[in-house]
């Protein structure tokens, strides 16, 4: 070690001059004579009279260390204070806020995303669904004021990835405002919106979401299945008018994937439909399997003979029974030159064609 003869500060052996006083250090290979930068013309003039006692240096380092310790202690105290439990009054506010959040989450989803980030409908009841349905499509179900449209029933349907709502009821159509027809509406959840996909998800029998005919109906059967009462497509065998009676079929539709598909079709059972089925068999000259429960077997010989239609035009038909509550009714077919009367009766709750009379 080397020692400064002026300030008595110790330095390593490889040091030659004191960093504080500029004098030569005392040690091996050096004399005890003082040597300053001022005495050596090869070095710049240093500040005269400058001295840095070792005690001041020690005090400086101690003060610096205390400052670091104090700063560290303050940081730890501040962090612990932030993690400490909030006052009771603040807890009350948090509980109240959470209660409001829970109350909001119990409300039906909002289409604008105010109640939840995603629209989930699988657990909603029929009344809850009505609260989130867009008003414009609901107008299809109006029978009086357009703003009072409301479906009769609904089902939540699912595919592998999507959610749907099927709604059934009745309402006035834009084409025939005076006529009430059966209605079907299918909505698909699209983010926060409900999009009308009736045309894509409904079979042709309810294309456009409505069924024509004054006595048309549509309702849910078992589970999500739909049963629609639809008028028979315009036929060439009978000249029918808008105010005439019509024959109806019952069409069962099953939800598969992302659409309803027709799974079964059978004749409805009312007196005019029973007459129509017998007339259709007479035109075909045979009774098919679906008509077998309606057309009595004793009529088969008469059916096999058939009944001609002039110029392939439809027969004209006239009801010979005015009493709508009667359990037996007769209808007359005419082709312009010949006539035939078909009698239908209600037997054990089922309408059947029981007699044919040629004239």
Domain that holds residue 146: 128-267
One domain for residues 249 and 287: no
Per-residue HEC secondary structure of the chain comes to CEECCCCCCEECCCCCECCCCCCECECCCCCCCCCCCCCCCCCCCCCCCCCCCHHHHHHHHHHHHHHHHHHHHHHHHHHHHHHCCCCHHHHHHHHHHHHHHHHHHHCCCCCCCCCCCCCCCCCCCHHHHHHHCCHHHHHHHCCCCHHHCCCCEEEEEECCCCEEEEEEEEEECCCCCCCEEEEEEEEEEECCEEEECHHHHCCHHHHHHEECCCCCEEEECCCCCEEEEEECCCCCCECCCCCCCCCEEEEEEEEECCEEEEEEEEECCCHHHHHHHHHHHHHHCCCCHHHCCCECHHHHHHHHHCCCCHHHCCEEEEECCCCCCCCEEEEEEECCCCEEEEEEEEECCEEEEEEEEEC
One domain for residues 282 and 260: no
Can you give the pLDDT at residue 168? 94
Domain final position from 250, 267, 284: 267
User: What token pair was written down for 82?
Assistant: 């932030």
How many whole angstroms from its chain centre is CA 173? 26
User: What token pair was written down for 260?
Assistant: 């309803």
- CATH number for the domain spanning 349: value is 3.10.450
One domain for residues 199 and 317: no
Residue 341 counted as domain residue: yes
Sheet of 339-347: strand order equals 316-319, 328-334, 339-347, 350-358
One domain for residues 189 and 300: no
Residue 305 counted as domain residue: yes
Phi/psi region, residue 313 (left: phi>0; alpha: psi -120 to 50; beta: rest), is beta
CA distance 146 to 135: 10
**For the segment 91-142, what is each residue's pLDDT rounded down to a tens digit?**
333 323 333 333 333 444 444 444 445 577 877 777 887 788 888 888 888 8
Give the total number of structural domains in the chain: 2
Asked if residues 46 and 22 have their Cβ atoms less than 8 Å apart, the reply is yes
CA distance 91 to 308: 90
Residue 9 counted as domain residue: no
Q: Vertex 277, ends 272 and 282: CA angle to 5°?
A: 125
Residue 60 counted as domain residue: no
Count how many Cα atoms sit within 13 Å of the Cα of residue 249 in the half-sphere of its side chain. Answer: 15
One domain for residues 262 and 150: yes
One domain for residues 262 and 321: no
As a whole-number percent, the residues of the chain with pLDDT over 90 amount to: 38
Q: Pick the closest to residue 152 from 178, 121, 180 (CA basis).
A: 180
One domain for residues 259 and 212: yes
One domain for residues 158 and 259: yes
One domain for residues 244 and 278: no
Residue 219 counted as domain residue: yes
Residue 22 counted as domain residue: no
Task: Spell out the per-residue pLDDT of the chain, length 359, in tens.
Answer: 788 887 777 777 777 777 667 778 777 444 444 434 344 444 344 444 444 445 556 666 677 777 777 777 776 666 655 655 544 444 333 323 333 333 333 444 444 444 445 577 877 777 887 788 888 888 888 887 777 788 999 999 988 888 999 999 998 876 666 778 899 999 999 888 889 999 999 998 898 898 888 789 999 998 899 999 999 876 778 887 766 788 999 999 999 989 999 999 999 999 999 999 999 999 999 999 999 999 999 999 999 999 998 777 889 999 999 998 999 999 999 988 899 999 999 999 999 999 999 86
Residue 87 counted as domain residue: no
One domain for residues 222 and 253: yes
Domain final position from 242, 267, 292: 267
One domain for residues 132 and 263: yes
One domain for residues 137 and 244: yes
**For the segment 44-60, what is each residue's pLDDT rounded down to a tens digit?**
444 444 444 455 566 66
Residue 57 counted as domain residue: no
Rg of the chain (C-alpha set)? 49
Place of tokens 């010949």: 338
Domain final position from 215, 233, 267: 267
Q: Pick the closest to residue 149 from 131, 164, 169 (CA basis).
A: 169
Could you give phi then psi for residue 95, rounded to 5 degrees?
Answer: -60, -40
């Amino acid at each position: 070690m080397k020692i400064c003869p002026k300030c008595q500060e110790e330095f390593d052996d490889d040091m030659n001059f004191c960093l504080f006083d500029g004098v030569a250090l005392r040690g091996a290979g050096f004399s005890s004579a003082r040597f300053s930068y001022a005495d050596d013309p090869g070095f710049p003039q240093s500040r005269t009279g400058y001295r840095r006692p070792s005690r001041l240096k020690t005090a400086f380092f101690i003060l610096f260390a205390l400052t670091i310790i104090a700063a560290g202690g303050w940081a730890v105290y501040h962090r612990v204070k932030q993690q400490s439990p909030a006052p009771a009054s603040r807890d009350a506010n948090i509980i109240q806020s959470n209660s409001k959040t829970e109350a909001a989450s119990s409300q039906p989803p909002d289409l604008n995303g105010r109640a939840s980030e995603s629209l989930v409908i699988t657990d909603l009841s029929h009344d809850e669904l009505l609260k989130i349905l867009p008003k414009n499509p609901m107008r299809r179900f109006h029978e009086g004021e357009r703003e009072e449209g409301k479906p009769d029933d609904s089902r939540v349907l699912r595919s592998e990835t999507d959610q749907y709502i099927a709604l059934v009821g009745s309402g006035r159509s834009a084409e025939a405002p005076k006529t009430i027809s059966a209605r079907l509406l299918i909505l698909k959840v699209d983010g926060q919106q409900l999009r009308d996909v009736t045309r894509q998800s409904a079979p042709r029998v309810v294309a456009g979401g409505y069924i024509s005919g004054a006595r048309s109906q549509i309702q849910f059967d078992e589970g999500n299945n739909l049963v629609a009462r639809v008028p028979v497509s315009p036929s060439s065998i009978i000249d029918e008018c808008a105010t005439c009676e019509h024959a109806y079929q019952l069409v069962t539709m099953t939800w598969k994937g992302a659409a309803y598909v027709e799974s079964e079709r059978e004749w409805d059972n009312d007196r005019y439909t029973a007459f129509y089925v017998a007339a259709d068999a007479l035109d075909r000259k045979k009774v098919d399997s679906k008509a077998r429960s309606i057309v009595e077997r004793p009529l088969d010989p008469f059916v096999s003979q058939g009944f001609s239609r002039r110029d392939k035009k439809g027969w004209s038909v006239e009801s010979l029974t005015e009493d709508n509550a009667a359990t037996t009714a007769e209808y007359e077919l005419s082709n312009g030159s010949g006539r035939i009367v078909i009698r239908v009766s209600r037997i054990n709750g089922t309408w059947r064609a029981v007699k044919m009379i040629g004239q």
